[in-house]
Chains A and B, each alone.
Chain A
Amino acid sequence: MKRRKRTGAALAALAAITILGIAGTAGLASACYLPSYDPAASLSVAFEKKLEKVGSIGPVDASEDEASNAYFIPHRAAAPTDGYLIQASSGSFRARYLYSSTAGATLGDYVYGSTNALGTGAAAVSLSETEASASPIVRGLYLATEWSGTSGSILGILYGASGALSSSQPVSSVSNQPLYFPSLVAAGYYQDSSENHFYSYLFSGYGDSARSAYELRGASYMVSNSASFPAISTSLLSLTYSGPALRPGAFFAYEGTSMNYYLSGRSAADGSLYTVKYESGLSAAPTILSGVTEQLTDLLSDGTLLARGSLTTSLYNSSGTKLATLRTGSLRFVHECYDSASATWYSYFTRSLYEPGMEGDGKLRVEVYRCPTAELESLGG
């Protein structure tokens, strides 16, 4: 009986020490445990049920550095099998070719800019098959990088045969005339119903006559849908601007059909939102779109304005009235593509998924979805 009591007491003491020891160790060791949960992913899974899945590339080996904060811009095709993995931050811009073949998915060449004036607002688009047929094969365009000093690059071209990627930079460059200390602050893209492309950007700086006055100068170029990429004029247009100095990464696009310019950005001073519309040119005073509550990011072929947020994408009409809120989560609107067979414009969304490994390696998979642009508004809820 005594021996049993002694054994029981020893067992209890051992259990106490074990529990307290393990609990303490566990508390420290598992303090970095966090649940597998991302509201953006949850919303995207709910939203993808409203879309049509048209492609998936991967998984492909990728380092954490290569996949971090990356989004995918597919080739502008109905069911794309390649595209660009874009990483845009305040410090750099990188586009990496990602394609799928019978051998599997591959991460190919990349272009890299060590400066990126537009930060995450950098615009990158890819071209259609027709547009990409020129030699050298043009794969896409980006509006991002800038050299400090007296000139900067505005527009780069991503080109190359399948599996290869190079960039031509600067395709377009500007000098510091007529602005002093020019800085790229806004860019945008628009494709009209005839599949013509409009690339637009804005520089900020100080005017020649009065250096204390903040000015914006910009340009917008149209590229015909069947043309190889032309040389771009570097002359800058003046615009009437009385708004606040803007943070880099603003949105500026030209809707060629109605000839409206849209500018949306945040004040460098206090971060307040400033969204205006220039009607029929840049010389007249703009109209403030007070109904827009988020910074605009995209302009659709039908004139609908998009504002991509971290969890939602809002739709506005040309007057700044909100049409719908799409709970897109981590599904990112990337571009439109016209399907001539069905005479339908489709809006494309992509999602990049990354499974981190134990030592900085991992697997990357990208998914591509689409829905008719005309149905976008009905997907809100």
Chain B
Amino acid sequence: MRRIAFLALAALVLTAGAAQESRRVLTWLEIASPAAAKLDREAWAASLDAALASSSRIGAVRRAASASSAGAEGDYIEEAARLGFDLAVALRLEQDDTGIQVSWALYDIGAPAGPEAELRAAAEGSSRAEGPAAGGPPPTFWLGLLGAADKLLSELPPAGTAVLKIEAPAGTKIGGFSKKPAVVPESGELELRLRSPSSYSWRASLAGYEDETGLLSVSGREARLSIAFAPRLERSLESGLVGGAFPDLWFSWRLAEGRLFARAGLIQYLWGMSLRDSDESDETPSLFVSFGLVEPGAGIGFYASPPDDPVRFYAALDAALRVDLISDSTAFIIMVDPVAPLELKPAFGLEWAPAGRFSLFFELGSSIFPFSDGILMASERASSGSGSWPHIMGDNCYTELFIMRFGARCQL
């Protein structure tokens, strides 16, 4: 009988030898009854270690530190998980008048925990040793345990990897787990095989929504990641300085997944900063200038790059109505400027979003005044004190060149 058992054990060892993976096993032994206190604990543990070590699937066997103390049951499972063991073997010895009752349980450390965060035994069994034994049992005593362990280990995924199950809306692009961003299929679930244990910094994007980022630590063989997106903030508020002098205010809306934008706002010349040098006619020019002119306007623009680029070039075209606010000795007059009622403002811009909702922008553009008397506009410019700003003049059109605007945007 012993010979047959030995042959079975040898066959088990040889069969397992075909596998290339070497697993790490943690053992824990409990003397459950006072009568069993007389058992040679070390002999039993050594017997179990030797039996496990004989399996070619098992590369290392170590006794749980908690086994040497009065640690609670389950501490060894935590220890096994913390130290990266694949399998934990719990052994319970009870002695009665007729022999020794041996109960064992195998725990797949990488398996997901149950609903109550409790790891359930993957396999359990028991056997009985006849009569009091002076030392530990022979290796063949562990045949049942080894068979169950071998079966369990053979079903484990390759060592050092984990399966990440991602739940996210279809079409989500996820970067950070692999060289190329992965795309979530129509099912809304995606599985990726990752190194484990390891940590990953990931970024997910979905059209129409704000990007999501995170840090994921994978320690077991399976992990889950559920990604929920917040709708992209489609509106923003921007304020700039026209010509580096006059503050303005615009609201803008993103369109076409952030590649286009529309905006509406107000340019005002009622208050502005002036850094003009002093001249003969005005020895101490004021730091502030004011003109009775406001320009409500609207425009559209196109970004040359997607919304998640931190640096974006864009082109914009705004149209504004020039409204005069004139106060004379008798009345306060509000009227559409009869000299140049309309202003078109094409511009190229550069936007940089260093962080969060805020971005800085710089625009370089022109002001085109169609339906205006060129020399009258030039004369106005001379009257306003701007002198000979670069311009192109026609009989019915006047264009000012190289007008700069810069400021900041804030998403609402």
A interface residues (Cβ-Cβ under 8 A, vs B): 1, 8, 11-12, 15-16, 18-20, 22-23, 26-43, 45-46, 59, 293-294, 309, 311-312, 325, 327, 353-358, 362-363, 365
Contacts and interface: CB of A to CB of B under 8 A. Distances in A.
Nearest to B325: A39
Interface in B290-343: 291-293, 310-311, 322, 324, 326, 328-331, 333, 335, 337-340
Contact of B338 (A12, A45, A293): A45
B386 A36 contact: yes
Nearest to B295: A35
Given A15-B311, A43-B326, A356-B388, A30 B376 contact: no
Contacts of A353: 375-376, 378-379
A33 B406 contact: no
A27 B403 CA distance: 11
A31 B276 contact: yes
A312 B330 contact: yes
Contacts of B326: 39, 42-43, 311
26 contacts: A11-B310, A12-B352, A16-B360, A26-B404, A27-B406, A30-B243, A32-B387, A33-B243, A33-B404, A34-B272, A34-B274, A34-B385, A35-B269, A36-B340, A36-B380, A37-B291, A38-B384, A39-B326, A40-B383, A41-B339, A42-B324, A325-B328, A325-B331, A353-B378, A354-B378, A356-B387
A362 B326 CA distance: 28
Nearest to A8: B310
B354 interface: yes
B273 A31 contact: yes
Contact of B292 (A12, A22, A28, A39): A39
Nearest to A49: B338
Given A19-B362, A28-B275, A37-B384, A42 B244 contact: no
B259 interface: no
Nearest to A12: B310
A42 B338 contact: yes
Q: How large is the interface on B (under 10, 10 to 19, 20 to 34, 35 or more residues)?
A: 35 or more
A30 B330 contact: no
Interface centre among B335, B360, B379 (most CB of A within 10 A): B379
A365 B382 CA distance: 14
Given A26-B406, A46-B338, A15 B352 contact: yes
Given A16-B354, A19-B360, A19-B406, A355 B386 contact: no
B31 interface: no
A252 to B, nearest CB: 23
B282 to A, nearest CB: 12
A15 B350 contact: yes
B338 A23 contact: no
B398 interface: yes
B381 interface: yes
A45 B385 CA distance: 20
Contacts of A28: 244, 275
Contacts of A33: 242-245, 386, 389, 403-404
Given A26-B404, A30-B244, A33-B389, A312 B329 contact: yes
B330 A354 contact: no
B404 A30 contact: yes
A19 B361 contact: yes
Contacts of B276: 31-32
Interface in B212-252: 241-246
Nearest to A32: B276
B374 to A, nearest CB: 8
A19 B350 contact: yes
B380 A31 contact: no
Contact of A30 (B292, B331, B403): B403
B166 interface: no
A309 B378 CA distance: 23
B289 interface: yes
Contacts of B352: 12, 15-16, 19
